[in-house]
Amino acid sequence: MIFAAGLGMRLKPITDTKPKALVSFQGITLLEYAIRKLKFYGVRHIVINVHHFAEQIIDFVKQHNFGVSISISDESQKLLNTGGGLLNAQDFLNDSKPFFVYNVDIISTINLHDLYAWHIKNNALATLAVKDRKTSRYLLFDEHMQLSAWENRATKATIITRNCTSYIPRAFSGIQIIDPKIFPLIQEDGAFSITDLYLRLSENHCIVAYNHTNDFWLDVGKFDEISDVETQLATHKLEFL
């Protein structure tokens, strides 16, 4: 699944007239970067959630043959946040096989085969790609890299779900694998955060980190200037292009 429904507030004013999924870098839209990445690693069916300028994304998909099956999870009437967006798309994803969830504004050289293998090895409910990088909000893991807490260092807010003698802070990379067994465990409805869901479930379920600190990684929405993204992309080879 590709999360593409967001308002793209950090990419204004570009997103005043188009969804962030269709913002282009080096002549390629963010949506196409994500699709090509997933296809390169063997994904053959993709679900895209849409809200902001939903019709533009739907038309873009219709006009291009990416060589994969693409379904649309429509949130045009109400933006459901990441957790609600996942729940809304469950009919496309509930086939008993773990699936990728990929934020559309992430561009990375992370090896998705390795991520998937790590998920299977740990028999996890969810596996979150993480990096050792500076941010204001951290997921906190125990010595086995199981999710145990969360903290916002700007506001000093903390949520602890599993007591540990020490915690390992890592920043979430917007890439994850989820087992469809998660769907019966979801009690939340409407718009809600997938992070809040993970924190609630982490008390009794295995939610693990996959560390890909050495990979090239961009959260495009966090860059002040489009030229910064172009410069970064020009200096790194993306295996799926």
For residue 238, pLDDT beyond 70: yes
In the chain, the N- to C-terminal Cα span, in Å, equals 20
Taken in order of first residue, the domains within the chain and their CATH numbers are: 2-234 (3.90.550.10)
Per-residue confidence (pLDDT) for residue 61, from 0 to 100: 97
**Rounded CA gap, 68 and 6, in Å?**
23
- Any idea what the Cα angle at residue 131 is, between residues 128 and 135, rounded to 5°? 105
Partner residues linked to 103 by β-bridges: 3
Closest to 47 in 3D by CA, of 84, 81, 4: 4
Summarize pLDDT for 101-113 with one digit per residue, the tens: 999 999 999 999 9
| Dihedral Cα 164, 112, 138, 194, nearest 10 deg | -90
Instruction: Compute φ and ψ for 19, nearest 5 degrees.
Output: -75, 155
């990416």: which residue's tokens?
A: 66
For residue 209, pLDDT beyond 90: yes
Summarize pLDDT for 193-208 with one digit per residue, the tens: 999 999 999 999 999 9
Summarize pLDDT for 73-93 with one digit per residue, the tens: 999 999 999 999 999 999 999
H-run or E-run covering 144: none
**Rounded CA gap, 166 and 164, in Å?**
5
222 pLDDT band, cuts 50/70/90, is low
- Long-range Cβ contacts of 148-154 (<8 Å, 24+ apart): 148/202, 149/199, 150/195, 150/199
223 pLDDT band, cuts 50/70/90, is low
Largest CA-CA distance found in the chain, in angstroms, rounded: 54
15 pLDDT band, cuts 50/70/90, is confident
Per-residue confidence (pLDDT) for residue 135, from 0 to 100: 94
What three-state secondary structure class fits 228?
A: helix
Mean pLDDT confidence for 37-64: 97
Per-residue confidence (pLDDT) for residue 227, from 0 to 100: 75
Per-residue confidence (pLDDT) for residue 173, from 0 to 100: 98
For residue 237, pLDDT beyond 90: no
For residue 221, pLDDT beyond 80: no
**Rounded CA gap, 95 and 24, in Å?**
33
By percentage, how much of the chain surpasses pLDDT 70? 98
Per-residue confidence (pLDDT) for residue 19, from 0 to 100: 95
Per-residue confidence (pLDDT) for residue 213, from 0 to 100: 97
Partner residues linked to 128 by β-bridges: 176, 209
Looking at every residue in the chain, the average pLDDT score rounds to 95
Mean pLDDT confidence for 230-238: 88
Query: Which carries the bigger pLDDT value, residue 14 or residue 113?
Result: 113
Per-residue confidence (pLDDT) for residue 228, from 0 to 100: 82
H-run or E-run covering 142: none
Asked if residues 71 and 92 have their Cβ atoms less than 8 Å apart, the reply is: yes
